[in-house]
Each structure stands twice: as structure tokens, then as C-alpha cells.
Chain A
Amino acid sequence: AQSVSQHNHHVILSEAASLELGCNYSYGGTVNLFWYVQYPGQHLQLLLKYFSGDPLVKGIKGFEAEFIKSKFSFNLRKPSVQWSDTAEYFCAVIGYGTASKLTFGTGTRLQVTL
């Protein structure tokens, strides 16, 4: 069975600080990877995804993530956060296989202060 770990549960940053949120997964085969964002009171929105190709993926709003297969990681980064990035961030993974389903991490709550 696949699983996803997000080690940072709550991160507080000042505006303009750099962000890195960790995401590790466990699955022995090929995976598709996603980062979703949930702004307060809203639904989940896709930030970026990795299916194949360049392991450095660029998403919306200046976010990027790097897939490191040897480390089973897909960390999310942003060089300079804004107050409007305050939200909860979810990493998700799905392995290739008939029994696979999208598995979400527990989420990281990011609070950006002015």
C-alpha cells in the first residue's frame, strides 16, 4: 500500500522568506505526484503535478517541486512567500496499478506573517 508523509504540520514564515515543504511517499513502483493547496474556507486546487519527464516541476503562483526518485521525495518550494500564500498544502501520490488510489498526506498549514 502507498502512503504519504508530510513532516511539517504547521509552518510560520514572514513575507519574502523562502519556503520548502517536505513530502515523502512509500510505493515501490512508478508514481504520479501532486501538490494541492486549500485556502481558508475553500476547496482543494491543483498547484502542480509530476507524471514523467523533468523532475523539476513548475506550478502556479511561483511554486515548484522536485521529484527525487532515490529519496522518494517531492518537496514543494517557493523562493519568496507572500501573505496570500497562507493556506494548507497537501501532497498526494498515486501509484501505477489497478488497486491504486490517490493518497493524500495530512497536510501542512502555512501561515505567512506580514
Chain B
Amino acid sequence: DAGVIQSPRHEVTEMGQEVTLRCKPISGHNSLFWYRQTMMRGLELLIYFNNNVPIDDSGMPEDRFSAKMPNASFSTLKIQPSEPRDSAVYFCASGRGQGDTQYFGPGTRLTVL
């Protein structure tokens, strides 16, 4: 299996621009998670999908952030407009359920200038 695939691996953008991060979970996994990792705040869960349905988005920082999962093999995390404080590494993870092992993708390093 190819594992969780994320794109792009690196993104540099200017403040105010829209950013879209993409994730392809492991085939057969029905849960998908978006995390953000920063030095200051560590690893934070942003949103969690189960069977393509958002279950818990309480970690989404504000309305500028949105996530979708149109089908079982694809999810996006969008930031519009982006701000410098959004700079972080964004990880996608997938698993077979909320309590099961989560398998992480390689992450997208986002820099907002």
C-alpha cells in the first residue's frame, strides 16, 4: 500500500491567498483526520471524518478553515484567506475507526508570508 498521500509537500504563499491541501487516505480506511503541528502548540486535531461525514470539527481554528471529503479516497483542507499564523505542518491521517491506529501522511509544510 502506498500509505497516506498528501500534496503538495511544501507550499509557500502570501497572506490573503487561498491555500488548498489534499489528502488521499489508505484504501479501506473509513476515518480521516486533519492535524496541524507547530512548535508552539504541538499536534492539534483540526477535524475528523468518518465515512466521509465530518464528525468533529471543534479543532478548526476559525471560519477561514474548511474541510471536505467528497468521497472515500479524497479530502481537502482549505484556508481562505491565509495568514502568517497559519504557517505549520499539516498532517492527514487515516484509520479504520476513531479508536484504531491512525496512519499519518508525510505532511504539507505551509509557509504564509
State the A residues within 8 Å of B (CB).
Answer: 32, 34, 36, 42-46, 49, 90, 94, 96, 100-102, 104, 106-107
Which of A42, A45, A100, A106 makes the CB contact (< 8 A) with B42?
A: A106
A96 vs B43: C-alpha distance in the bound complex, in angstroms? 21
Q: In chain B, residues 26-66, which have Cβ atoms closer than 8 Å to a Cβ of chain A?
A: 33, 42-43, 45, 48, 56
Q: Is the CB of B91 within 8 A of A44?
A: yes
Closest 6 A/B residue pairs (Cβ) = A44-B104, A43-B104, A104-B43, A43-B106, A106-B42, A32-B99
- Starting from the known contacts A94-B99, A100-B99, A101-B48, 8 additional A-B residue pairs (CB-CB under 8 Å) come to A32-B99, A36-B104, A42-B106, A46-B101, A49-B101, A90-B43, A101-B98, A102-B102
- Chain A residues within an 8 Å CB radius of B102: 102
A102 vs B48: C-alpha distance in the bound complex, in angstroms? 10
- Chain A residues within an 8 Å CB radius of B99: 32, 94, 96, 100
Interface footprint category on B: 10 to 19
Q: Given contacts A32-B99, A44-B91, A46-B101, are A101 and B45 in contact (CB under 8 A)?
A: yes
A36 vs B33: C-alpha distance in the bound complex, in angstroms? 16
A4 vs B105: C-alpha distance in the bound complex, in angstroms? 23
* Most B CB within 10 A of own CB, among A44, A45, A49, A90: A44
Q: Given contacts A34-B101, A104-B42, are A43 and B56 in contact (CB under 8 A)?
A: no
Q: Is the CB of A45 within 8 A of B56?
A: no
Q: Is the CB of B103 within 8 A of A46?
A: yes
- Chain B residues within an 8 Å CB radius of A43: 91, 104-107
- Can you list 10 contacts pairing A with B, beta carbon distance less than 8 Å? A34-B101, A43-B104, A43-B106, A43-B107, A44-B43, A46-B101, A94-B99, A102-B45, A102-B98, A104-B42
- Chain A residues within an 8 Å CB radius of B33: 102
A96 vs B98: C-alpha distance in the bound complex, in angstroms? 9
A34 vs B93: C-alpha distance in the bound complex, in angstroms? 14
Q: Tell me the minimal C-beta distance from B92 to chain A in angstroms.
A: 10
Q: Is the CB of B103 within 8 A of A107?
A: no
A94 vs B54: C-alpha distance in the bound complex, in angstroms? 18
* Most B CB within 10 A of own CB, among A43, A49, A106: A43
